[in-house]
Structure 1
Amino acid sequence: MKAKKEKHGVHSVERALAILEALGTNPKGLGVTRLAKELDLHKSTVHRLLATLVRYGFAEQDENSECYRLGMRLVALGLNYLHQLDFRCEVLPYLKELAELTGETTQMGVLEGDEVFFLERYQSPEAITVNLGLKAPAYCSAEGKLLLAYLPPERLREYLQRQELKPFTLNTLSNPEQLLLHLEKIRAQGYALSAEELADGLRGVAAPVFDAQGRVVAAIGVAGPVNRLTLERIHRLVNILRETCYIVSLRLGYRPARRRESDTPVPRPNLSLQNGG
């Protein structure tokens, strides 16, 4: 990709944006020489622009490979963008439908730092429900584990290096190797389960929401007490949950090249998924 030189543009800004675009398509990072070649720029120019991007957190350099990649400042801006979107209008009707179908609380979460932040939630219509906060540790909630499973490997490695896996219950995955194996399973099956890992008596299941670039940007989940949200019920509602996530993804611009057979829409069942159904 060549750096564009617009007649009425600011060259330094255009070149910096071209660098960010190049880094965005190379998650393992790029060196100065390769960036200069791809963008048809002098190495000194690329180095100077990268230094500025690093200083403001839009890029970062790996100490071992000396390659550059996108910085966490872009994550913060992306989260701000997500917060500005009218998620209530877009997502809440689907969360409401899920809650009415399952009889449990439904929610949509995104990663914010090392935690999962719940942008929107529809409370269970049941008289007895569960107490859920606005945030939760990513490694012991269904939505958080789902989002961790789809992180680029280097991001996940950084997370595990800085995150203390505090055990909240006897079921919490507090061993990094055990958690990594669990995250691999989540990515392979396309959904995540949380079985009393954050709090005793609480279960949950979550599936991914994709953006226009095919990246996982959020997770939609169902949570409830173990006496109602049994494992049998969870496995029966997984397909419907994934179908909801697929529809929301389409509204966010997601356009898959070819949909997998496992993603085929399932008809809304006559059989209720509420407790006892």
Structure 2
Amino acid sequence: MTHSTVNQSGTQSIDRAVNIINIIAQNHAAGTSFSELMTQSGLTRPTARRLAQALIQHDFIKQDTKSRLFFLGPRICELGLMVLPSFDFEELYHPAVMRLAKGTGDTVFFNRLTGNTMTCLVRESGDFPVKAFVLDVGIQRTIGLGAGGLAVLADMTPDIRERMIAKNQDALEDFYGDESVMNRIIENALDRGYVCREVPELGIRTIAMAIRDSLNQPFAAISVSSISGRMQGAHKDDVLSLLREEILSLNERLRQSRPVV
């Protein structure tokens, strides 16, 4: 076996192991069965078993002894806590979300891109009695399935956007049915500077804008949701004005700080 072959084999094993961790992470709350792991990873039973056992040995994942489901392991938490001070900026985005909830009276969300998914990290509600709880904190969704993810997609360069959509084509097609629906929302966002998304079955309308990091790359979004009858006219204009103000402030403060990865 040549040196290049050994390197290629090692890289492939790392890629497969990382994919297993990502699959388990996306289903962490409910757990992932071994059959689901094989199906989603595309690995054979022996290879999936070998990699899973290695990850368990190093505490990156764990397997419940009764249900046999896989979950993230304690090592993931330890590593996350170690890097949190360097990459978190909650001291910036959480006050912004709270100000928007108070200023608009509506429900405000902060979602961050990780890999191919958007994760809801914060949800705050204003004083309007009808709440738009379209997301719970901790929920992960494929980018493009919600207003925040659409805002991030729209803010990407065309080539990066196309690659991201291609990567998640199956999930997006399952959700929208017709690809033109999502494309139309993105085109409107490019014209307006924000995403406006309807959820007819809930009677909810959401406004969202992307946040850019210090490298000027979109990586997160803030969205404001309310009932459709409220999110229109003068109120919608007020929401857009407040949201733009907070987004511009966040972008500027992040531009002057460390890179957010």
Q: TM-score, normalised by structure 1?
A: 0.56
Instruction: Please say if 1:165 is aligned against 2:174.
Output: yes
The structure 1 residue matched to 2:134, chosen from 120, 132, 153, is 132
Unaligned runs of 5+ in 1: 1-43, 60-76, 167-172, 256-277
- For each residue in 1:60-89, what CA deviation from the matched residue of structure 2 results, as whole angstroms up to 9, or x when unmatched? xxxxxxxxxxxxxxxxx9xx6679744432
Residue in 1 that maps onto 2:240: 238
| Structure 2 CA distance for aligned equivalents of residues 84 and 125 of structure 1 | 34
- Does the 8 Å CA contact 2:110/2:123 hold for their aligned counterparts? yes
Residue in 1 that maps onto 2:35: none
| Structure 1 CA distance for aligned equivalents of residues 150 and 85 of structure 2 | 21
Q: TM-score, normalised by structure 2?
A: 0.59
> Residues 130 and 162 from structure 1, CA distance in 2 versus in 1: closer, same or farther, beyond 3 angstroms?
closer
1:115 deviates by 4.4
Instruction: Please say if 1:218 is aligned against 2:220.
Output: yes
- Quick check: 241-250 or 105-114, which moved more? 105-114
1:182 deviates by 2.5
1:117 deviates by 1.5
1:78-93 equivalent positions in 2, closer than 5 A: 85-93=87-95
Aligned residues: 187
Instruction: Please say if 1:196 is aligned against 2:199.
Output: yes
Percent identity over the alignment is 19
Unaligned runs of 5+ in 2: 19-75
| Structure 1 CA distance for aligned equivalents of residues 188 and 5 of structure 2 | 40
| Structure 1 CA distance for aligned equivalents of residues 113 and 185 of structure 2 | 18
Residue in 2 that maps onto 1:111: 113
1:209 deviates by 0.5
| Structure 2 CA distance for aligned equivalents of residues 254 and 215 of structure 1 | 14
Residue in 1 that maps onto 2:254: 252
- Does the 8 Å CA contact 1:108/1:219 hold for their aligned counterparts? yes
Instruction: Please say if 1:179 is aligned against 2:137.
Output: no
1:96-107 equivalent positions in 2, closer than 5 A: 96-107=98-109
1:210 deviates by 0.5
| Structure 2 CA distance for aligned equivalents of residues 139 and 48 of structure 1 | 38
1:102 deviates by 0.8
Q: Secondary structure at the match of 1:205?
A: strand
| Structure 1 CA distance for aligned equivalents of residues 208 and 118 of structure 2 | 12
Q: Over the residues paired in the alignment, what is the CA RMSD in angstroms?
A: 3.4
- Does the 8 Å CA contact 2:105/2:125 hold for their aligned counterparts? no
> Residues 200 and 161 from structure 1, CA distance in 2 versus in 1: closer, same or farther, beyond 3 angstroms?
same
More helix by share: 2
Q: Secondary structure at the match of 1:126?
A: coil
Instruction: Please say if 1:57 is aligned against 2:15.
Output: yes
> Residues 83 and 209 from structure 1, CA distance in 2 versus in 1: closer, same or farther, beyond 3 angstroms?
farther
Q: Secondary structure at the match of 1:139?
A: coil
> Residues 224 and 162 from structure 1, CA distance in 2 versus in 1: closer, same or farther, beyond 3 angstroms?
closer
The structure 1 residue matched to 2:165, chosen from 133, 149, 156, is 156
1:98 deviates by 1.1
> Residues 217 and 254 from structure 1, CA distance in 2 versus in 1: closer, same or farther, beyond 3 angstroms?
farther
- Does the 8 Å CA contact 1:210/1:254 hold for their aligned counterparts? no
- Does the 8 Å CA contact 2:211/2:247 hold for their aligned counterparts? yes
The structure 2 residue matched to 1:145, chosen from 150, 169, 181, is 150
Supply the AA of the counterpart residue of 1:189: R
- Does the 8 Å CA contact 2:185/2:195 hold for their aligned counterparts? no
Q: Secondary structure at the match of 2:249?
A: helix
> Residues 162 and 226 from structure 1, CA distance in 2 versus in 1: closer, same or farther, beyond 3 angstroms?
closer
1:175 deviates by 0.9
